[in-house]
Amino acid sequence: MMSLTRRCLLGQAASLAAALAAGARAGKTAWAAPGQLRVVVAGAHPDDPETGCGGTIARLSDLGHEIVILYLTRGERGIKGKSFDEAGRIRTAEAQRACEILKARPAFAGQVNGKVEVNYARYDEYLKMLQGERPDVVFTHWPIDTHEDHRATSLLVYDAWLRMERKFALYYFEVMTGMQTSQFLPTHYVDITATEARKRAACFAHASQNPEEFYAVHDQMNRCRGMEIRAKYAEAFVHHAQSLEIELPG
């Protein structure tokens, strides 16, 4: 288990590409100067990236990195009494508001909540989208999760990572741990004490999802992960050991 808190991002004379290549060869951390990274946070539904790593997204966007939040669906099944179309419109607007708060660009992968597919055509479709974003690092769902859409997103990202010759750093985040994510043993932490308020605001932008209830769980998680690194609030990640490693903010 390794904490990267208090490490700082240092500019390097070498280009990021060279650093990444060196990291790939040596299996070591690739250092990135502020503003150099293209970051994709891949979630299943509006609110997943925000809850899983909203504090880290805010820290990375503060450093000038380019953040794309890629939602697999628009959460069409997620509002009781609303049609899929209506719920999708409401939740798209909520996601756009959350992204404004976190200074990220929203993108939607076009699948439908409740009808998510994982097959060869969907693997190809998702690969093309990720290739289009040219990410240096991707954060996505941990695959052992009670929600079928979370598992699907994780598999789609993993397949793209393999087919893109493992060229981006791959980190997994946790959501509703104990209720959804399980068997999650962190390898990395990010201190989100300074950005927890923005994470909270981004989560509360999802007003249709009863944020008081779901954020209470994540508040406990943020505090628990914080205790593990002696911070007030933290988010935890599992780094894919065969992927590049990006220096996360301390």
- Min CB(147)–Zn ion separation in Å: 5
- Min CB(42)–Zn ion separation in Å: 12
Owner of token pair 């055509």? 121
How many Å apart are CA 56 and CA 76, to the nearest integer?
Answer: 26
Pick between residue 55 and residue 249 the one whose CB is nearest to Zn ion. Answer: 55
Residue pair 139/174 in contact (Cβ under 8 Å)? The answer is no
CA-based R_g, the chain, Å: 17
Pick between residue 173 and residue 233 the one whose CB is nearest to Zn ion. Answer: 173
Assigned token pair, 170: 């791959």
Pick between residue 147 and residue 188 the one whose CB is nearest to Zn ion. Answer: 147
Pick between residue 36 and residue 209 the one whose CB is nearest to Zn ion. Answer: 209
| Of residues 243, 186, 244, 187, the one with CA closest to residue 29 | 244
Contacts of 248 by beta carbon, 8 Å cutoff, 6+ apart: 4, 56, 188, 190, 237
Q: What is the largest CA-CA distance in the chain?
A: 56
How many Å apart are CA 67 and CA 95, to the nearest integer?
Answer: 14
Angle at 210 between CA 208 and CA 213, to 5 degrees: 165
β pairing state of 169-173 and 38-43: unpaired
For 131, the 3-state DSSP assignment is helix
- Min CB(138)–Zn ion separation in Å: 17
Residue pair 78/45 in contact (Cβ under 8 Å)? The answer is yes
For 247, the 3-state DSSP assignment is coil
- Min CB(209)–Zn ion separation in Å: 9
Pick between residue 3 and residue 181 the one whose CB is nearest to Zn ion. Answer: 181
Pick between residue 30 and residue 70 the one whose CB is nearest to Zn ion. Answer: 70
**Positions that interact with Zn ion (CB under 5 A):** 44-45, 48
- Min CB(45)–Zn ion separation in Å: 4
β pairing state of 66-71 and 38-43: parallel
Pick between residue 48 and residue 159 the one whose CB is nearest to Zn ion. Answer: 48
Q: Which residue number has the CB closest to Zn ion?
A: 45
- Min CB(145)–Zn ion separation in Å: 9
- Min CB(153)–Zn ion separation in Å: 9
